[in-house]
Amino acid sequence: MSSDIILDELRLTTRAEHERLEQVLRLGAAMTLQRYGAILCGFDAFLRVWEPRIHAALPERLQPWFRARRRGGLASADVQWLRDVGHVAPVAMNAGLAAALPLDDLAEAMGSLYVIESLAPDGRAVALRLKQTLDVGQGHGASYLHGFGGETAAMWDNFRVLGALEIGDSPNNARRACRSAQRTFAALIDLFAPLAPPAPAAGRSEPSQRIAPALLAAFGADAQTSRPAPLADIHIDLPAEDEAEEDPALVELPMDDDSDEGEATQRMPL
């Protein structure tokens, strides 16, 4: 299976989880040094558990290759720098799910590796922004995000090629790698859940007015906006019987008549 095919498979399968992790971390948004420190503590806690497990899951021939890619020590150094220089106290983060990830074969190990490797190129772009906003950089608080520096793109390409070769052409291996990647993203999302933005409050909706079916039929489906304005209140005062005028006004009304001699009328009180 070519590197492009397996990479597309992994990317499409984990798209939702990757987007959710980005929403939780919000690395592109402005942040305080304290929030940045909490994010670093999360990666430090995760990598302390995950990296030894990946190393043990890989065959011996790949362990030197992986040792050159380990960045957990960089995250630990950043946390130490923030505590000593930035006076940012470390935040305890629970990376329990990292210890429970199934890594029983090479396909699962490569699928999990894909997650951490795919975050490296994005991390370097974030490091450049944080240098401007928080004055952190390689060797002083942002070594983990800086990653492999100018070699980041080459390291990513190397993983794509080797990962495709190790996963191989087996559809079953591809599925196992994709499921492992999804589980690894889920573990990171769970780890950083305390940093997620609060859910928006549900807006209050005004109660809808009920419209009679006859009006709906008359004015159409948009009766709420198209119905006519209500008529103004009209009051007609009628005199009581005992208050009737003694000499009421009379009016002549025409009567139906077949005669041609003239129009017959009848006098009626108004």
* Single-letter amino acid code for the residue at 132: Q
Question: Has residue 262 been placed in a domain?
Answer: no
Return all residues near 84 (Cβ < 8 A) that are at least 6 apart: none
Task: Give 202-240 as a DSSP string.
Answer: PPP-PPPPP--HHHHHHH-TTHHHHSPPPPPP---PPPP
Half-sphere exposure of 248 (CA within 13 A, CB side): 12
In the chain, alpha helices (H): 3-13, 15-25, 33-57, 63-67, 72-84, 96-100, 106-133, 143-146, 152-167, 171-191, 213-219, 223-226
Confidence (pLDDT) at 256:
53
Question: What CATH number is given to the structural domain containing 183?
Answer: 1.20.910.10
Return all residues near 150 (Cβ < 8 A) that are at least 6 apart: none
pLDDT along the chain (270 residues), means of 10: 80 97 94 96 98 98 97 97 96 95 97 96 89 94 92 94 94 96 98 89 54 50 49 50 50 51 53
Mapped onto helix, strand or coil, the DSSP state of residue 24 is helix
Question: Has residue 214 been placed in a domain?
Answer: no
Question: Has residue 18 been placed in a domain?
Answer: yes
Question: Has residue 115 been placed in a domain?
Answer: yes
Tell me the C-alpha distance between 154 and 148, whole Å. 9
Instruction: Check: pTM over 0.75? Answer yes or no.
Output: no
- What is the widest separation between alpha-carbon atoms in the chain? 128
74: domain range? 3-195
Question: Has residue 242 been placed in a domain?
Answer: no
Confidence (pLDDT) at 197:
87
Question: Has residue 208 been placed in a domain?
Answer: no
Question: Has residue 167 been placed in a domain?
Answer: yes
Total tally of structural domains belonging to the chain: 1
Question: Has residue 221 been placed in a domain?
Answer: no
Confidence (pLDDT) at 216:
45
